[in-house]
Structure 1
Amino acid sequence: MTANLSRRKLLIAGSAGAAGLILPGRALAAELPEIEPMAMVTRNYLGVTGCALYYEPTGRASSFTFNSTFYNQLAAWRTYMDSNAPVSWGAPWRIYSYGAYTDKPGMHGEGRAFDIGRIFYRNSSTGADSTISMRYDVWKNYSNAATYQRRYWATAAGYMRWFRHVLTYKDNSQHHNHMHVDNQVYGGGGATFNTGSSSQIYIVQGACRYVWGLGTGVDGSWGPETQGDSTAVLRRIGRTSGSITNATNFAAFCTASLRKGLGTQAY
């Protein structure tokens, strides 16, 4: 899918166009001086050509347009997902998405958001596939929904390690078929936790409950139960002091939750 850019966001290919770099058109910039330069890339893969992008509604291989910085952050996240999955899974080879840049306000309108539906890993030796699905609308009534649920919240935690804004099916019904991520606050690391963010709290609670097997309620509200259960997880993974509000502890919580939920490490 190639995004149709609005007149205001219109970008034309520069000399680096063969490499996918799109630079603001000089004539248009002169006509509309308020336009800020915004380097964009259009890709049909994420980070490496072996990880192809697909459009979730059609199931077809597609290209998406991204802000170049955001794309590089997503590529680093893909490497992180690769290195923290079980070796037997192989590497991510297909990512199904609802899109990145779209002509509307907000982070999607800047190419700084990505809606992910499914991730497929493939073991090149055996040809076996392993799947992480964000399609809560599809698997919520499956007999093995617990497996999907565990991998879902593990992946949400891993995403949160790299990006501040991660929206899950608990946020609203619009996210029952995908997980949204953007880099409005941070991207590519530097993870921090805000006890006033219901979206982050949902993910911490979901990880505690569905990955770590605790009785944590998933209500998006910070309180003694969530604080106590997240601290119990930190102690279990070897963090001897402090709570999840500490940035280093929070990053450790996210990565450990990813690894445990995917079956990479038992802790």
Structure 2
Amino acid sequence: MITFSRIDGTPVYYWRSNRGNTTLRNWQCTQAFYDSLVLWIRDLRSLSSGYGSITYLVSAGFYVNKPGQHGAGTAMDLDHVRWSGGQVSSPLDRHHASGTQSLRRRYLAVDAVCRRRFRYALDGWYNADHEDHIHADFAGLPTVCQKGSRSDTVFVQAMCNNFMGSGLSVDGDWGPLTQSAFTTAKSRLGISGDPHTSTTAWRAMLSGIARHGFANQAI
């Protein structure tokens, strides 16, 4: 395990016991996971560059002494992102369920960037346990869009609803309506290749989703 308080220079705070706290905290994870966190935050900076720099992140945890990916030091729970332009994305405040479309789209943009680097991203649509954070972990790499994955399916359904008004049930069932909406989104984003089998194609699609989300633009 390594110990860190910043990811590639950006401070990571803890708000669960003291919201607004800006005291640096020592976190732990494996070196390999930290290396992926660096790639992730660089993606996030690039795709959200119109917001300015990322001022800070807030997390609920990385390594935690319990079974699973957290116990292996290969997971992150993301609570909040703030940019120098004043924009925020706050899973902690359940922005996935916000009544403001731009906040839902921004949440999906952050969600999409997580999925570029981490195979499993569990978000507010996944289940009640993840309504107040986005969990991202190393398990099951490489990153592709799997129709049999509840995590991927609810993300796709929520994305299609929020960017295209598809009216899908966000139920984790990849049926014909979800497939049709996904195909439309893929076409509108100009993605070649198969995101279900190609990491390159899926990451390109996620980047397109993120750009539209940060710009609050329909697909």
Please say whether Structure 1 and Structure 2 have the same fold, judged by a TM-score greater than 0.5.
Answer: yes
Alignment map for 1:142-161 (pairs within 5 Å): 144-161=99-116
Which portions of structure 1, spanning 4 or more consecutive aligned residues, are displaced by more than 3 angstroms? 136-140, 264-267
1:55 to 1, 9, 14: 14
2:83 partner SS: strand
Q: Which has the larger radius of gyration?
A: 1
Whole-Å Cα distance in 1 between the matches of residues 176 and 194 of structure 2?
12
2:139 partner SS: strand
Higher relative contact order (CA 8 A, sep 6+): 2
Kindly tell me: are residues 121 and 222 of structure 1, through their superposed partners in 2, closer, same or farther at Cα, counting changes over 3 Å?
same
**Structure 1: 5+ residue runs without aligned partners?**
1-39, 123-127
1:184 partner SS: coil
2:76 to 95, 114, 122: 114
Whole-Å Cα distance in 2 between the matches of residues 138 and 246 of structure 1?
30
2:5 to 44, 58, 61: 44
Whole-Å Cα distance in 1 between the matches of residues 166 and 32 of structure 2?
37
Could you tell me which amino acid in structure 2 is paired with residue 168 of structure 1?
D
Q: Is the 8 A contact 1:86 1:264 kept in 2?
A: no
Measured after TM superposition, the shift of residue 237 of structure 1 is 1.5
Backbone CA RMSD of aligned residues: 2.1
Whole-Å Cα distance in 2 between the matches of residues 246 and 80 of structure 1?
22
**Structure 2: 5+ residue runs without aligned partners?**
none
Measured after TM superposition, the shift of residue 136 of structure 1 is 4.6
Alignment match, 1:125: none
Measured after TM superposition, the shift of residue 85 of structure 1 is 0.9
Kindly tell me: are residues 152 and 180 of structure 1, through their superposed partners in 2, closer, same or farther at Cα, counting changes over 3 Å?
same
Alignment match, 2:196: 245
Alignment match, 1:36: none
Aligned residues: 214
Could you tell me which amino acid in structure 2 is paired with residue 158 of structure 1?
V
Measured after TM superposition, the shift of residue 97 of structure 1 is 0.6
Alignment match, 1:207: 159
2:87 to 114, 130, 141: 130
Could you tell me which amino acid in structure 2 is paired with residue 166 of structure 1?
A
Q: Is the 8 A contact 2:2 2:29 kept in 1?
A: yes
Whole-Å Cα distance in 2 between the matches of residues 193 and 209 of structure 1?
17
- CA deviations 1:163-217 (Å, max 9, x no partner) are 111101222211111110110122xxx4212111011111111111113433232
> Which structure is higher in helix share?
2
Q: Is the 8 A contact 1:227 1:243 kept in 2?
A: no
Please give the TM-score of this superposition, normalised by the length of structure 2.
0.89
> Which structure is higher in strand share?
1
Question: Does residue 75 in structure 1 map to residue 34 in structure 2?
Answer: no
1:94 to 50, 56, 64: 56
Whole-Å Cα distance in 2 between the matches of residues 120 and 211 of structure 1?
22
